[in-house]
């Protein structure tokens, strides 16, 4: 675990309360805030017996000046990234084919936060990236992810090429995304079995060594004049096509 810090917003706090209540140390709630979703969260807090302090709006705004706190904040032991060993322990415990997402040199925290939200929604078992030249679990990432950063296992590795080989040794099919239409269409690829999808950064895409180590390359067919997508949007498209296929067998 990383050192305790504050999460804020109804979605983020609800996610950690439901999935990892043992991490929550205390909660602050804005007085006079009337919202059905907030009442539900307060019921969970009371049931768990977590210390809860009611404060006025001025106090909340002062403590979280740049945050859309929605009248709710929780001080938590935040999830720390896993390393390769943590990832392999996770994979060993899975009872279903692995469904993984790898990000190659994605540096924008807003993109990572959005990707984590999509990964959680699609049922991804872990999101992986490198320790260098990639963004980690920053406060901005956690805010944009609205709770997903606390529930989706996040893995940072030192050598992406080595990780790909280790996944392949476990019979996990590694599929990289490309803009080149000489690759296979996403919708023609078989994404049902043990799978690791790799998304590159906007602009450069996958690095050469990453691309060469993939088992298969796919592209997203597009109809408009603009032939590229934001990495978080592209990740959502690919993840939900994989989910569609994996849900149909």
Q: Which residues touch 207 (CB under 8 Å, ≥6 apart)?
A: 104, 105, 200
**Which of 47, 77, 107 is a domain's end point?**
77
Please check whether residues 107 and 63 belong to one and the same domain: no
Identify whether the C-beta of residue 103 lies closer than 8 Å to the C-beta of residue 134: yes
**pLDDT band with cut points at 50, 70 and 90 for residue 109:** very high
What 3-state DSSP class applies to 103? strand
Closest CA to 80 of 21, 149, 25, 9: 149
Q: Which two tokens stand for residue 61?
A: 């705004």
Please check whether residues 27 and 149 belong to one and the same domain: no
Cα–Cα distance, 108 to 202 (Å, whole number): 10
Please check whether residues 73 and 100 belong to one and the same domain: no
Closest CA to 164 of 199, 89, 215: 215
Please check whether residues 73 and 89 belong to one and the same domain: no
Identify whether the C-beta of residue 213 lies closer than 8 Å to the C-beta of residue 165: yes
**Which range, of 9-13, 118-122, 180-184, 206-210, averages the lowest pLDDT?**
180-184
Please check whether residues 126 and 42 belong to one and the same domain: no
Average pLDDT over residues 1-21: 84
Please check whether residues 105 and 60 belong to one and the same domain: no
Please check whether residues 98 and 198 belong to one and the same domain: yes
pLDDT digits (tens, 9 = 90+) for 200-229: 987 778 999 999 999 999 999 988 766 678
Residue 249 pLDDT > 60: no
**Which of 77, 96, 127 is a domain's end point?**
77
Please check whether residues 115 and 231 belong to one and the same domain: yes
Residue 59 half-sphere exposure, CB side, CA atoms within 13 Å? 11
Cα–Cα distance, 84 to 153 (Å, whole number): 12
**Which of 27, 47, 77 is a domain's end point?**
77
Strands (E) across the chain are located at 4-8, 24-30, 52-55, 72-77, 99-104, 126-130, 154-157, 173-177, 184-185, 195-200, 216-219
Q: Which helix (H) or strand (E) holds 101?
A: strand 99-104
Domain membership of residue 176 as a residue range = 84-246
Residue 58 belongs to domain with CATH number: 3.30.1330.30
Q: Which residues are annotated as a binding site?
A: 200, 220, 229
Average pLDDT over residues 77-97: 93
Identify whether the C-beta of residue 130 lies closer than 8 Å to the C-beta of residue 162: no
Please check whether residues 152 and 232 belong to one and the same domain: yes
Cα–Cα distance, 249 to 240 (Å, whole number): 15
Q: Which residues are annotated as a binding site for S-adenosyl-L-methionine?
A: 200, 220, 229
pLDDT attached to residue 28: 94
Q: How far is CA 110 from CA 37, 104, 138, 199, 228, in A?
A: 25, 15, 10, 15, 18
Residue 188 belongs to domain with CATH number: 3.40.1280.10
Please check whether residues 60 and 175 belong to one and the same domain: no
pLDDT attached to residue 210: 95
Cα–Cα distance, 33 to 56 (Å, whole number): 9
Please check whether residues 107 and 44 belong to one and the same domain: no
Please check whether residues 171 and 214 belong to one and the same domain: yes
Residue 248 pLDDT > 70: no
Residue 125 pLDDT > 80: yes
Work out how many domains the chain is built from and give that number.
Answer: 2
């Amino acid at each position: 675990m990383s050192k305790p810090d504050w999460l804020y917003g109804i979605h983020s706090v609800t996610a950690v309360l439901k999935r990892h209540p043992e991490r929550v140390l205390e909660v602050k709630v804005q007085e006079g805030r009337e919202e059905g979703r907030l009442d539900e969260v307060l019921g969970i807090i009371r049931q768990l017996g977590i210390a809860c302090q009611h404060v006025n709006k001025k106090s909340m705004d002062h403590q979280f000046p740049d945050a859309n706190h929605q009248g709710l904040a929780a001080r938590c032991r935040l999830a720390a990234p896993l390393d390769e060993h943590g990832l392999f322990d996770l994979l060993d415990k899975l009872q279903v084919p692995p469904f993984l997402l790898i990000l190659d040199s994605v540096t924008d925290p807003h993109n990572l936060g959005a990707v984590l939200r999509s990964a959680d929604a699609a049922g991804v078992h872990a999101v992986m990236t490198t320790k260098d030249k990639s963004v980690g679990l920053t406060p901005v990432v956690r805010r944009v992810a609205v709770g997903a950063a606390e529930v989706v296992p996040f893995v940072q590795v030192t050598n992406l090429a080595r990780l790909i080989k280790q996944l392949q040794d476990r019979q996990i099919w590694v599929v990289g995304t490309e803009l080149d239409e000489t690759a296979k269409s996403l919708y023609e690829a078989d994404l049902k079995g043990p799978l690791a999808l790799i998304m590159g950064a906007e602009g450069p895409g996958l690095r050469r060594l990453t691309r060469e180590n993939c088992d298969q390359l796919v592209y997203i067919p597009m109809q408009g004049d603009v032939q590229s997508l934001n990495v978080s949007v592209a990740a959502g498209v690919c993840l939900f096509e994989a989910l569609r296929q994996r849900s149909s067998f």
